[in-house]
A and B are shown apart, each in its own frame.
Chain A
Amino acid sequence: MTDNTKTIQGRTGPWELVMGLEIHAQVASRAKLFSGAAVGFGAGPNEQVSLVDAGFPGMLPVLNKFCVEQAVRTGLGLNAKINNRSQFDRKNYFYPDLPTGYQISQLFYPIVGEGVVEVEAEDGSFFNVGIERLHLEQDAGKLIHDLSPTESYVDLNRAGTALMEIVSRPDIRSPEEAVAYVKKIRTILIYLGTCDGDMEKGNLRADVNVSVCHPGQYEKFKATGDFSHLGTRCEIKNVNSFRFISQAINYEARRQIEILEDGGKVDQETRLYDPTAGETRSMRSKEEAMDYRYFPDPDLLPLELEQAWIDGIKASLPELPDDKRRRLMADYGLSQYDAVVLISEQAKADYFEAAAQGNGTGRRDAKLVANWVTNELSARLAADGKDFSECPLPAAHVAELVELIENGTISSKIAKEVFDHVWSGEGSPSEVVEKHGLKQVTDTGAIEKAVDEIIAANPDKAAAVAEKPQAIGWFVGQVMKATGGKANPAAVNDILKAKLGL
């Protein structure tokens, strides 16, 4: 494990960053956590609201069993301890997006306890992030401020939607690590099918706790578990894109360093990141300091889970990204880099495997298949704003393309051209090669003829090659041009060398 800790040089010396993240992931479910109203995006205002969500007197919450299952599934995917007994608490505060005046959450006894996530850093090394807990809670409604200059409009469609709050340990040491961690959690959730990971819609968002300290302090904290070795943290709320996470952390760390270097004190507070201004701002005034007066929700009994039920969920887990990465490396001999790129999207890894299995003609060169999938095909899909689950090209086509390269029917250069035709829907790679006459020329007679003609037309250059063997490249280019790029490059090289006496 290499050290990815970010150091920021201040006026008085170096500073280090310490971060812990709270990720809010919307549970993929049809109905809300405690009511039968639909979960979703795009309905008219307050159409997906039950009287429970709207906080009408006498309404009682009834827990959605599938949301519980999703939380357990996620906990298992995070290698975390599932608590057979958990409980719901009320977090009390007043805000117009919260009609009940409290959010049902799990403070004292969360459904999922400690776990650990393996995250890959940019340089290919791995670091572990400890998970402190995962709990279920309700989302709030939405406020719309631009419909009136003096009023706010309230839409409760989102109110009561199930969220999983995933709380990490303060194991994150740089903005890059924070982003890599959120990406990893997102990938795991998508694999598990417990959250769609759509950050644009706010279905996955992060609160980032940032503090700064002098070098050495973090190690003291790790050794003792004593938070007093670390600086005072500020919580940046609801950051909903990878770019903003990184920007917000950088800004916030510098802000804290400046305060400390001026002899000041960082106030523990909640801040908001404003992407337009590129800064974080204090969210709540100090007099309003929050006191949530948590207490067990008297409407809900403790949630008791049978071990057999948990084991059943465990048995149904899909292959998780880290296991898939290890298997792709072991089974296909892929590099870690290729494997990591492939597993970043479940459908991409599946696509690769389908193509690598070949098209009924045996396994294909996995490295070559991986290259086509992660480069050419990924780029085309990205340009069309699609992901692999919507890939119009059957995996069999990629298998066939690689087979044509492997058996020498086409060169890798021509393969790009073949791919273009296949992508634009002209048929399978073999059909395209046939239709456009793209078969590689391995007929040495034809190549020899082209070589002879070029040497004859350029006697001075041919003479120069004897002095400067690298100049053969020019001849290769000419031959390829003369044969429409279809000549087998190895054959061209051999024939040229022989004819030029090299």
Chain B
Amino acid sequence: MAIDAATVRRVAHLARIKTPEDRLEPLAAELNGILNWIEQLNEVDVDGVEPMTSNVHQPLRLRDDVVTDGARVDAVLSNAPKSADGFFVVPKVVE
């Protein structure tokens, strides 16, 4: 799997990570290095082996349908660059 500069640009855009043009080629080389390294895993035959999701088999933790949270508008908005009347305020977005 070879990553080129165009792919890096696209992935960076999708992830909203600002990447200067002169960094695209070096990043592509670094990512290819990582991917090639990971590709060694393909040498292992995992046919019929269940993917491991945790080192100890345990069920997904579930919660009862009870309201235990909310009514903390100040905390929710505490990181907002801008807010008003309990709302987050962002630059206009209209589809």
Q: Which residues on A are within 8 Å of B, measured CB to CB? A: 29-31, 35-38, 44-52, 54, 56, 62-68, 92, 94-96, 143-145, 147-156, 272, 283-284, 291, 293, 300-304
Given A95-B93, A96-B93, A143-B93, does the pair A30, B66 have CB atoms closer than 8 Å?
A: yes
Interface majority SS (helix, strand, loop, mixed), chain B = loop
Kindly list chain A residues whose C-beta atoms are within 8 Å of the C-beta of B75: 51
A417 to chain B, nearest CB (A): 50
Which residue of the partner chain B has the closest CB to A99?
B88
A260 to chain B, nearest CB (A): 26
Kindly list chain B residues whose C-beta atoms are within 8 Å of the C-beta of A54: 76
Q: B41 in the interface, Cβ–Cβ < 8 Å?
A: no
Kindly list chain A residues whose C-beta atoms are within 8 Å of the C-beta of B61: 62-63, 301
Q: B95 in the interface, Cβ–Cβ < 8 Å?
A: yes
Contact B59 A154 (CB under 8 A): no
Contact B60 A145 (CB under 8 A): no
Contact B87 A46 (CB under 8 A): yes
Contact A151 B89 (CB under 8 A): yes
Contact A62 B95 (CB under 8 A): no
Contact B62 A304 (CB under 8 A): no
Kindly list chain B residues whose C-beta atoms are within 8 Å of the C-beta of A283: 95
Given A272-B95, A304-B60, does the pair A31, B65 have CB atoms closer than 8 Å?
A: yes
Contact A154 B90 (CB under 8 A): yes
B62 to chain A, nearest CB (A): 4
Kindly list chain A residues whose C-beta atoms are within 8 Å of the C-beta of B40: none
Q: B18 in the interface, Cβ–Cβ < 8 Å?
A: no
Q: B58 in the interface, Cβ–Cβ < 8 Å?
A: yes
Contact B60 A63 (CB under 8 A): yes
Contact B87 A29 (CB under 8 A): no
Kindly list chain A residues whose C-beta atoms are within 8 Å of the C-beta of B67: 30-31, 36-38
With A94-B16, A153-B85 already in contact, 14 other A-B pairs whose C-beta atoms are closer than 8 Å: A36-B69, A37-B69, A45-B87, A46-B86, A46-B88, A50-B70, A62-B63, A63-B63, A151-B91, A153-B87, A153-B89, A272-B95, A283-B95, A301-B53
Contact B68 A36 (CB under 8 A): yes
18 A-B pairs (CB sep. < 8 Å): A36-B66, A38-B67, A38-B70, A46-B77, A47-B70, A48-B70, A62-B63, A63-B61, A64-B65, A65-B64, A65-B65, A66-B64, A66-B65, A148-B89, A152-B94, A301-B53, A301-B60, A304-B60
Kindly list chain B residues whose C-beta atoms are within 8 Å of the C-beta of A56: 79
CA A37 to CA B76, docked complex, whole Å: 12
Given A46-B77, A49-B76, A283-B95, does the pair A301, B54 have CB atoms closer than 8 Å?
A: yes
Contact A45 B63 (CB under 8 A): no
CA A26 to CA B8, docked complex, whole Å: 38
A64 to chain B, nearest CB (A): 5
CA A7 to CA B17, docked complex, whole Å: 49
Given A30-B66, A301-B60, does the pair A291, B14 have CB atoms closer than 8 Å?
A: yes
B54 to chain A, nearest CB (A): 6
Kindly list chain A residues whose C-beta atoms are within 8 Å of the C-beta of B95: 272, 283-284
Q: B2 in the interface, Cβ–Cβ < 8 Å?
A: no
Q: B38 in the interface, Cβ–Cβ < 8 Å?
A: no
CA A65 to CA B82, docked complex, whole Å: 36
CA A215 to CA B65, docked complex, whole Å: 50
Contact bitstring B22-64, A, C-beta under 8 A = 1, else 0:
0000000000000000000000000000000110001111111
Kindly list chain A residues whose C-beta atoms are within 8 Å of the C-beta of B63: 31, 36, 62-65
Q: B73 in the interface, Cβ–Cβ < 8 Å?
A: yes
B57 to chain A, nearest CB (A): 9
CA A155 to CA B80, docked complex, whole Å: 12
Given A50-B69, A302-B53, A304-B59, does the pair A150, B64 have CB atoms closer than 8 Å?
A: no
Which residue of the partner chain A has the closest CB to B63?
A62
Kindly list chain B residues whose C-beta atoms are within 8 Å of the C-beta of A51: 69, 72, 75-76
CA A3 to CA B15, docked complex, whole Å: 48
Which residue of the partner chain A has the closest CB to B65?
A66
Contact A68 B87 (CB under 8 A): no
Which residue of the partner chain A has the closest CB to B77?
A46
CA A54 to CA B87, docked complex, whole Å: 12
Contact A67 B77 (CB under 8 A): no
B13 to chain A, nearest CB (A): 9
CA A143 to CA B92, docked complex, whole Å: 10
Q: B1 in the interface, Cβ–Cβ < 8 Å?
A: no
CA A46 to CA B83, docked complex, whole Å: 11
Kindly list chain A residues whose C-beta atoms are within 8 Å of the C-beta of B92: 145, 148-152
Kindly list chain B residues whose C-beta atoms are within 8 Å of the C-beta of A149: 92
Kindly list chain A residues whose C-beta atoms are within 8 Å of the C-beta of B15: 92
CA A66 to CA B65, docked complex, whole Å: 6
Given A36-B67, A38-B67, A38-B70, does the pair A45, B62 have CB atoms closer than 8 Å?
A: no
Contact B65 A152 (CB under 8 A): no
Contact B93 A152 (CB under 8 A): yes
A273 to chain B, nearest CB (A): 12
Tell me which of A148, A156, A272 contacts B76 (CB under 8 A): A156
Given A46-B76, A49-B70, does the pair A62, B62 have CB atoms closer than 8 Å?
A: yes
Ordered nearest first, which 7 A-B pairs have the shortest CB separation?
Answer: A36-B68, A66-B65, A45-B86, A50-B69, A154-B88, A36-B69, A153-B87
Which residue of the partner chain A has the closest CB to B62?
A65
Kindly list chain B residues whose C-beta atoms are within 8 Å of the C-beta of A155: 86-87
B81 to chain A, nearest CB (A): 11
Contact B91 A29 (CB under 8 A): no
